[in-house]
Homo-oligomer: A and B are copies of this chain.
Amino acid sequence: MFIAVDWGTTNRRIYAIDDDGAVTATLRDDRGATAVSDYPAEISAMRAQFGDLPVLLAGMVGSNIGWRAVPYVRAPAGAEALAGALAEVAPGVFIVPGVSWQDGDRADVMRGEEVQLLGAVASGAVAGDALLCQPGTHCKWVQMAGGRIARFTTAMTGELFALLRKQGLLAAQLGGAVENGAAFRAGVAEGARRDLAASLFAIRAAGVLGLRDDADAAAHCSGLLIGADVAARLAQADGQVVDILSDPALGGLYQTAVEVLGGTARLHDSQTAFLAGITRIRELAQ
Chain A positions within 8 Å of B, measured between CB atoms, are 100, 102, 105-109, 138-139, 153-157, 159-160, 162-164, 166-169, 193-198, 200-202, 204-206, 208-209, 211, 225, 228-229, 232
A271 to chain B, nearest CB (A): 24
Top 5 A-B residue pairs of the complex, sorted by shortest distance between their CB atoms: A155-B197, A194-B194, A195-B232, A154-B201, A156-B201
Pick from A168, A205, A232 the residue with the most CB of B within 10 Å: A205
What is the chain B residue whose CB lies nearest that of A108? B205
Q: Check if A138 sits within 8 Å of B201, measured CB to CB.
A: yes
A171 to chain B, nearest CB (A): 10
Q: Check if B167 sits within 8 Å of A163, measured CB to CB.
A: yes
A109 surroundings in chain B (CB, below 8 A): 204-205, 208-209
* Cα distance A194–B159 in the bound complex, in angstroms: 18
What is the chain B residue whose CB lies nearest that of A206? B107
A sample of 16 inter-chain contacts (CB < 8 A) reads A102-B209, A102-B211, A108-B201, A109-B209, A153-B198, A154-B198, A155-B198, A155-B201, A156-B198, A156-B204, A163-B168, A166-B167, A196-B197, A196-B228, A197-B228, A197-B232
A254 to chain B, nearest CB (A): 13
Q: Check if A106 sits within 8 Å of B202, measured CB to CB.
A: yes
Task: Please name 15 further chain A to chain B contacts, defined as beta carbons within 8 Å, in addition to the given A197-B225, A197-B229, sorted by A numbering.
Answer: A106-B202, A107-B209, A107-B211, A108-B202, A138-B201, A153-B198, A156-B169, A156-B204, A157-B197, A159-B169, A160-B196, A163-B167, A166-B167, A196-B197, A198-B232
